[in-house]
Structure 1
Amino acid sequence: MRPIDFRSDTVTKPTPAMRRAMAEADVGDDIYGEDPTARRLEERIAEKLGLQAALFVPSGTQANQIAIGLHCRLGDEILADANSHIFHYESGGVSGLWGVQPGGLPGERGLLTPEQVTAAVRTDFISPRSRLLSLENTHNRGGGKVWPLERFRAVVEAGRKAGLAIHLDGARLFNAAAATGTPASAWASLTDTTAVCFSKGLGAPVGSAIVGSKEHIAEARRLRKRLGGAMRQVGIIAAGALHALEHHVERLAEDHVHARRLAAGLAEMPGVKVDASQVETNMVFADFPLPVQEMQAKLAAHGVLCGSSGMGPRSVRLVTHLDVSSSDIEEALVRIRRAVSG
């Protein structure tokens, strides 16, 4: 029985066309700025996001951490939703790498309000200095929640009025664009820096980018080196990311259709609780009858792999992606029904 893998959209394998692009990539030494494929990818993603320049990095975590290093100094504070990726899934890098204090705000599925940001900013000399506002779109622990553009704009304006730099963790920004029909640049161009990931919904095997002004990206190159992320003939993997950017963005809408179908099918099962109306992109959060680890094991025995949402003791996360077809969704529902009823 072939497992159907919903653990993450990071589990995808390169397509045959992507493998060919990687095998045939024109490469050079990136430390010397001589890798033409990496340079082309950086130019293309900067253009798509409406910012001046970009830097290819190994991971979204490194892109976010470089942004923190760009904008903050020892003892500063970063404001973000309390359930943000940078606080939960980056191994304490906020404080461990930069000596920055996390300021977690209680968002609504990851979304903040202008009033929250304004009230949270600290300027007195006895408190950490609030320096950076980080927003996440789509929001992972918010179930793939998309930031409405006007709300995003209002929160950014509140941050700027308070003197904050703005970073966007846009690991799944193109999912937000696919879900709304709004260009990714509409969000990114409002920020100082934006991070995007090529190895999630876009299906590349590795790689992310940090995008911003020419000055920020020049400094980002130095911080990437400090973090051990500088690479040599990086065009081999940059070619996979470039192929994904050029060929896999529009198809993200298919993942969203599959997620809605999955949620609808789960909602019909006794003992499973899911609000299908909350499924905006490629993530489904569902409460199952058993605790997460027990449910994961039971589903795995029936050939369905899933993860924990981190949002409750029985809350499971299922993520649709490039390697999950519509027929896989229907087969997965059959298997999950057996697991739940057995």
Structure 2
Amino acid sequence: MMTVDLRSDTVTKPTPGMLEAMWSAKVGDDVFGEDESVNELEAKAAAMFGMEAAIFCPSGTMTNQIAIKCFTQPLDELIADQTAHVYRYEGGGIAFNSAVSTRLLNGYRGILTAEMIEPEINAVGNIHYPNTSLVVLENTVNKGGGSCYTLDQIEPIAALCKRRNLKLHLDGARIFNALAHTGDKAVDYGKYFDGISVCLSKGLGTPVGSVLLASKNTITYARRIRKVLGGGMRQAGFLAAAGSYALDHHVERLKIDHIHAQILADELAKCTWVTNVMPTETNIVLFDTEGPADAVVAKLLSKGIKAGCTDTKRIRFVTHLDIHPEQIEYTVQVLKNL
């Protein structure tokens, strides 16, 4: 029986080329700034997005939490969509790490607009309200089924933040999936955001790591915060080399994952036991089931297909570089006969 792991794009294994890059990495003590492979990755990622500098961290949660700490003060408030990863899936870190409250909005599939955000910005100087200091966007939106912002949608939000003296951070966990879908250029992002978090261990397939991109001054402070959070790695170049390899070799192929996701979405739409399939733009397929989702997941597992529930009647499939055409064909046949 074939095994198909659609739980997440974090389950991938390093490719042979990536392993070779890791084994041959030039390393040093990164806390001292002496790891050549880390320095190369940081410079490469910053340049790709038109940002001044970058810092390599163990996880996207850490890069997001460092950014929030950099861009806020205790008693501030940030604005995000109610589905935001920084709010739902980072262990309450906004409150714990930064002593900041969160204003949650209801965007369409997690996508916010300037018109939604502006009325929620608190008046400056009113001691009854927290000081609004930061807006956080997510691209792609995990709980939106991989929905994407375009730069045309981001521009008015960035203009609003500049006008109201707010910082703008992007949780770009799957930003390259968004770029593959929209056709926008990564280098254009730097003029809109104060911080960008890019995950290397999701669609790009590295074993560990994310980078935070920002100004040189912000990254200098971010290094202090990373140290305090316990994220100061030493010979991290073995991991950073995987990131550089992924940026060079695994970005263009993301379109294959999107094609695979659309094939699954199209088949699910034909299934009588499926009540709804969310629009599928990138590599995430969210669908609702007539009966309990956990029962469907158990049936899929009995056929070798691993998936996850995101609600009592909602299931998520995520395609990635370890999913091949024959596995998609097998999954389609299982869905037809489930």
Hey, what does 1:215 align to over in structure 2?
217
- What corresponds to 1:203 in structure 2? 205
Q: Distance in 2 between matches of 1:233 and 1:125?
A: 47
Name the aligned partner's letter for residue 337 of structure 2: R
User: Hey, what does 2:262 align to over in structure 1?
Assistant: 260
Contact 2:271–2:335 (CA under 8 A) maintained in structure 1: no
TM-score between the two structures when normalised by the length of structure 2: 0.97
C-alpha deviation, 1:313, in angstroms = 2.3
Say if 1:152 and 1:187, in contact at 8 Å, map to a contact too: no
Partner SS, residue 132 of structure 1: strand
Structure 2 residue 141 is matched with structure 1 residue 142: no
Aligned-residue offset at 1:89: 0.5
Question: Could you tell me whether the CA contact under 8 Å between 2:275 and 2:289 is conserved in 1?
Answer: yes
**Does the 8 Å contact 1:167/1:194 carry over to 2?**
yes
> Secondary structure at the residue paired with 1:141?
helix
- Paired residue for 2:68? 68
Structure 2 residue aligned with 1:29:
29
Equivalent position SS for 2:142: coil
Query: What CA RMSD, in Å, does the superposition of the two structures yield over aligned residues?
Result: 1.2
- Give me the whole-angstrom Cα distance separating, in 2, the residues matched to 1:18 and 1:188: 27
Contact 2:37–2:241 (CA<8 Å) still a contact in 1? yes
8 A Cα contact 2:150 2:184, kept in partner? no
- Ranges in structure 1 where 5+ consecutive residues have no aligned partner: none
1:300 match: 301
SS at match of 1:133: strand
Task: Give 1:290 shift.
Answer: 2.5
Q: Give the structure 1 partner of residue 325 of structure 2.
A: 326
State the match for 1:248 in structure 2. Answer: 250
Distance 2:88 2:25 in 1: 36
Q: Residues of 1 paired with 2:296 and 2:164: CA distance?
A: 45
Residue by residue, what CA displacement relative to the aligned partner does 1:164-217 show, whole Å, maximum 9, x if unpaired?
101000011111111122112323431000000000000011100000000000
For residues 258 and 78 of structure 2, the distance between their equivalents in structure 1, rounded to whole angstroms, comes to 31
Q: Distance in 1 between matches of 2:158 and 2:109?
A: 18
Equivalent position SS for 1:135: strand
Query: Which letter maps to 1:174?
Result: F
In the TM superposition, 1:1-342 aligns within 5 A as: 1-123=1-123, 124-275=126-277, 278-309=279-310, 312-339=311-338
Counterpart secondary structure, 1:112: coil
Q: TM-score, structure 1 length as denominator?
A: 0.96
SS at match of 1:69: helix
Residues in 1 aligned to 2:117 and 2:336: alpha-carbon distance in whole angstroms? 44
Cα separation, 2, equivalents of 1:7 and 1:244: 21
Residues 2 and 327 in structure 2, CA contact (< 8 A), matched pair in contact too: no
Q: Distance in 1 between matches of 2:115 and 2:219?
A: 31
- Partners of 1:243 and 1:89 lie apart in 2 by 28
User: Once the two structures are aligned, what percentage of the paired residues are identical?
Assistant: 43
Partner SS, residue 44 of structure 1: helix
What does the per-residue CA deviation read over 1:82-119, in whole Å, with 9 as the maximum and x for residues that have no partner?
A: 11000111000000111110111111111112122110
Alpha-carbon separation, structure 1, partners of 2:313 and 2:188 = 36
Conserved 8 A contact 1:198-1:204: yes
Deviation (angstroms), 1:53: 0.3
Native 8 Å contact 2:277 2:288 kept in 1: no
Are the counterparts in 1 of residues 273 and 291 from structure 2 also a CA contact under 8 Å?
no
Letter in 2 for 1:288: T
The amino acid of 1:303's aligned partner reads: G
Q: Contact 2:268–2:277 (CA<8 Å) still a contact in 1?
A: no
> 1:28 deviation in Å?
0.4
Residues in 2 aligned to 1:23 and 1:150: alpha-carbon distance in whole angstroms: 41
CA distance in 1 between partners of 2:245 and 2:150 (Å): 28
Aligned-partner SS, 2:197: strand
Deviations 1:281-326 (A, max 9, x none): 00111112322222222211111111123xx421101000000112
Q: Give distance in 2, aligned partners of 1:127 and 1:142.
A: 30
**Structure-2 separation of matches of 1:308 and 1:75:** 35
Q: Please, which moves more after superposition, 324-333 or 193-202?
A: 324-333
- Unaligned ranges ≥5, structure 2: none
Measured in 1, the distance between the counterparts of 2:201 and 2:245 equals 11
8 Å Cα contact 1:179-1:281 kept in structure 2: yes
> How many Å separate the matches in 1 of 2:243 and 2:140?
19
SS at match of 1:102: strand
Q: CA deviation at 1:330?
A: 1.1
Query: Shift in Å at residue 9 of structure 1?
Result: 0.5
